[in-house]
Homo-oligomer: A and B are copies of this chain.
Amino acid sequence: MSIRIALCQINPTVGDLSGNTEKILSFIKRARKKAVDIVVFPELATTGYPPEDLLLKPQFIEDNLKSLKQIVDGSGEIITIVGFVDRGEGLYNAAAIISDRRLIDVYHKRHLPNYGVFDEYRYFVRGRRFPVYSINGLRFGVNICEDIWHEHGPARIQAMNGAEMIININASPYHMGKISLREEIVRKRVQECGVPIVYVNMVGGQDEIVFDGGSFVLDENGEVVVRGRQFKEEIIYVDIEVMAKGRTAGKRRAGLSRMLRDDESIDNVRVPWKPRRGRVAIKRSMARLLSGMEEVYSALILGTKDYVHKNGFNGVVIGMSGGVDSSLVATIAVDALGRDNVHGIFMPSRYTSRESYEDAFTHAENLGIKLLTIPIDGIFRAYLRSLSEYFKGTEPGVTEENIQARIRGNILMAFSNKFGWLVLTTGNKSEMSVGYATLYGDMAGGFAVIKDVPKTMVYELCKWRNKKEGRALIPERVLWKDPSAELKPDQKDTDTLPPYPVLDPILKAYVEEDKSFREILNMGCDIACAQKVISMVDHSEYKRRQAPPGIKITPRAFGKDRRFPITNRYRSY
């Protein structure tokens, strides 16, 4: 039997119940025109993901159930599978199975992720029932996200109970290489279950995370049948041939009961279905997989665009210094929002070099954006005058450097307040890790675009973008001159930090991989250097706690993904 499925990889907004409902209904309408049998939406499509503590508000749950009702009423006879929040002994991360304008059944997620950026045990209780649905003799199971990552999990239980196909709905956040990890895991489930698996993912940016779409279907041999685009909202249509196998054999059922915990059960639910008329051929979608810098860059664009738009801003403002970080951020902003919505401000001081000036203006011209100049020296002198009585006899140092950075922060925020532009900060992950940044200075702003991008990758991204452009969109000199904060004479980042190609691998080992001091030394790292770096990371937690959110692109970002105490006397070296 051939069944036509529409994978709706939509971009909902957290909390926008009515907007999300409208979007879902409009996708159902589109799918109906293609004579689709089953239309599938992501996990928590009604609420967006993650709704966080909105889930603790009873009114929010109620309103989400009203949204579901609207979807049920508006779905027509098409079978609709959609994520929502169900209510019972507690809250459930749930999938509605709708047909013929009726809510036929609800599946509750069994495996609740509570690691990394996830907090699902904070809100949900686990599901304990693993139904198999049948339409016209075809049997299939539905489950949710994390469920598919577990061996002997819901998919296996459903397959053992005769499911000939599994539909898995997701809100699976992006990090580099995640898509191949997903395919690998789902392929294992195919091998375990012997049936095709339909994997539908969400798309869009939500605060720190980006859902990258890339929905796919694996056939019973583990081959990719269709693949949706990454980072784009779309419908993917697929016709799946499934062999009806009938009910579970007695022997299989015995094995099944051993897989269920005491409080868990299986059952079978018939889903009303009418043959679709007027079915025309559909185009088979097989999106090209992005890779390397193209993938990361796409994540940064979508994350930035969605943060700015979903929060209702009409434009952004960026302090452009002529350095590589702000050059990359301005380029991403223009690619995400269009040149008319990006405003640059160049804020030279007595320490700003001619090269910085030239590079910032050349780059702004290449991007086609306006770059205002506001020198900060007059304001800086006013501060020094006011403080001179109390700072008399002290050596100028970090204090005076920070005052300059904070003047720039204040100016950017003044433009933000005056014109309603969001300030994008330009700090990279290497800086955020070691605290090489000024709180309320260059850290001041609403969104930290490249917060999770190590400095060495900042260069790679710039090079990739220039190559794509076929010319030096970002001036070549920006990519080879020594990085400097230009907050005192002849300053270089390497006065304070090891060179980035040395620093970044240590940071990856320590921050992302929880390597021990010994393991880090075994990487060939100098003892003093490793100690210094680890100590800097440990001592900058207070800065990171006050940093704006930014886009997660690595397996472990700062923010919800890495939760450290500020008060912390542990030293691993």
Residues of A bordering B, CB below 8 Å: 13-17, 19, 50-54, 56-60, 63, 114-115, 119, 121-122, 205-207, 261-262, 306-307, 310-311, 372, 374-376, 378-379, 381-383, 385-387, 390-391, 394, 398-399, 402-403, 406-407, 409-411, 413-415, 417-418, 439-440, 444, 446, 514, 516-517, 542, 545-549, 562-572
- Whether A440 lies near B567 (C-beta < 8 A) is no
Known: A383-B411, A403-B414. 19 other contacts (CB 8 A): A13-B569, A14-B565, A14-B569, A15-B565, A51-B565, A52-B564, A53-B562, A57-B572, A206-B567, A207-B566, A207-B567, A310-B567, A311-B566, A374-B386, A391-B418, A399-B417, A406-B406, A410-B410, A546-B548
Contacts of A567 in B (CB 8 A): 13-14, 205-207, 306-307, 310-311
Residues A386 and B390 in contact in the complex (CB < 8 Å), given A418-B399, A546-B548, A563-B53: no
Contacts of A119 in B (CB 8 A): 114, 119, 122, 563
Q: How far is the CA of A390 from the CA of B421 in the complex (A)?
A: 14
User: Shortest CB–CB separation between residue A197 and chain B, in angstroms?
Assistant: 27
Contacts of A52 in B (CB 8 A): 563-565
Q: How far is the CA of A57 from the CA of B516 in the complex (A)?
A: 8
- Whether B386 lies near A375 (C-beta < 8 A) is yes
Stoichiometry, copies per complex: 2
- Whether A413 lies near B439 (C-beta < 8 A) is yes
User: Shortest CB–CB separation between residue A15 and chain B, in angstroms?
Assistant: 3
Contacts of A571 in B (CB 8 A): 15
User: Shortest CB–CB separation between residue A326 and chain B, in angstroms?
Assistant: 19
- Whether A16 lies near B207 (C-beta < 8 A) is no
- Whether B374 lies near A387 (C-beta < 8 A) is yes
- Whether B57 lies near A514 (C-beta < 8 A) is yes
Contacts of A548 in B (CB 8 A): 542, 545-546
Q: How far is the CA of A376 from the CA of B386 in the complex (A)?
A: 8
Q: How far is the CA of A399 from the CA of B13 in the complex (A)?
A: 29
- Whether A564 lies near B54 (C-beta < 8 A) is yes
Residues A59 and B407 in contact in the complex (CB < 8 Å), given A311-B567, A414-B402, A546-B548: no
Q: How far is the CA of A310 from the CA of B307 in the complex (A)?
A: 37
User: Shortest CB–CB separation between residue A534 and chain B, in angstroms?
Assistant: 11
Contacts of A402 in B (CB 8 A): 413-414, 417
User: Shortest CB–CB separation between residue A158 and chain B, in angstroms?
Assistant: 23
User: Shortest CB–CB separation between residue A123 and chain B, in angstroms?
Assistant: 9
- Whether A387 lies near B414 (C-beta < 8 A) is yes
A-B CB proximity, top 9 nearest? A15-B570, A16-B569, A59-B516, A382-B382, A399-B417, A440-B440, A121-B121, A15-B568, A379-B382
- Whether A390 lies near B415 (C-beta < 8 A) is yes
With both beta carbons as reference points, the residue of chain B lying nearest to A347 in the complex is identified as B386
Q: How far is the CA of A516 from the CA of B59 in the complex (A)?
A: 6
Contacts of A564 in B (CB 8 A): 52-54
Contacts of A58 in B (CB 8 A): 514, 516
22 contacts between A and B (CB under 8 A): A14-B568, A15-B565, A15-B568, A53-B562, A53-B564, A54-B564, A57-B514, A60-B570, A63-B570, A114-B114, A114-B122, A207-B565, A311-B542, A374-B386, A375-B386, A378-B385, A391-B418, A403-B410, A410-B410, A413-B439, A413-B440, A545-B549
User: Shortest CB–CB separation between residue A346 and chain B, in angstroms?
Assistant: 13
Q: How far is the CA of A567 from the CA of B406 in the complex (A)?
A: 26
User: Shortest CB–CB separation between residue A489 and chain B, in angstroms?
Assistant: 19
Q: Which of B13, B444, B514, B546 contacts A547 (CB 8 A)?
A: B546
Q: How far is the CA of A206 from the CA of B115 in the complex (A)?
A: 22
Q: Which of B54, B115, B382 contacts A565 (CB 8 A)?
A: B54
Q: Which of B56, B387, B411 contacts A514 (CB 8 A)?
A: B56
Q: How far is the CA of A403 from the CA of B415 in the complex (A)?
A: 11
Q: How far is the CA of A218 from the CA of B446 in the complex (A)?
A: 51
User: Shortest CB–CB separation between residue A47 and chain B, in angstroms?
Assistant: 8
- Whether B414 lies near A565 (C-beta < 8 A) is no
Q: How far is the CA of A398 from the CA of B394 in the complex (A)?
A: 35
Q: How far is the CA of A548 from the CA of B58 in the complex (A)?
A: 29
Q: How far is the CA of A53 from the CA of B372 in the complex (A)?
A: 43
Q: How far is the CA of A407 from the CA of B406 in the complex (A)?
A: 9
User: Shortest CB–CB separation between residue A526 and chain B, in angstroms?
Assistant: 19
Q: Which of B15, B409, B414, B444 contacts A383 (CB 8 A)?
A: B414
- Whether B418 lies near A394 (C-beta < 8 A) is yes
Contacts of A115 in B (CB 8 A): 122
Residues A386 and B379 in contact in the complex (CB < 8 Å), given A14-B567, A53-B563, A562-B53: yes
- Whether B569 lies near A15 (C-beta < 8 A) is yes
Contacts of A53 in B (CB 8 A): 562-564
User: Shortest CB–CB separation between residue A260 and chain B, in angstroms?
Assistant: 12
User: Shortest CB–CB separation between residue A264 and chain B, in angstroms?
Assistant: 12
Contacts of A114 in B (CB 8 A): 114, 119, 121-122
User: Shortest CB–CB separation between residue A83 and chain B, in angstroms?
Assistant: 17
With both beta carbons as reference points, the residue of chain B lying nearest to A372 in the complex is identified as B390
Q: How far is the CA of A378 from the CA of B444 in the complex (A)?
A: 23
With both beta carbons as reference points, the residue of chain B lying nearest to A15 in the complex is identified as B570
Q: How far is the CA of A403 from the CA of B567 in the complex (A)?
A: 31
Q: How far is the CA of A381 from the CA of B57 in the complex (A)?
A: 47
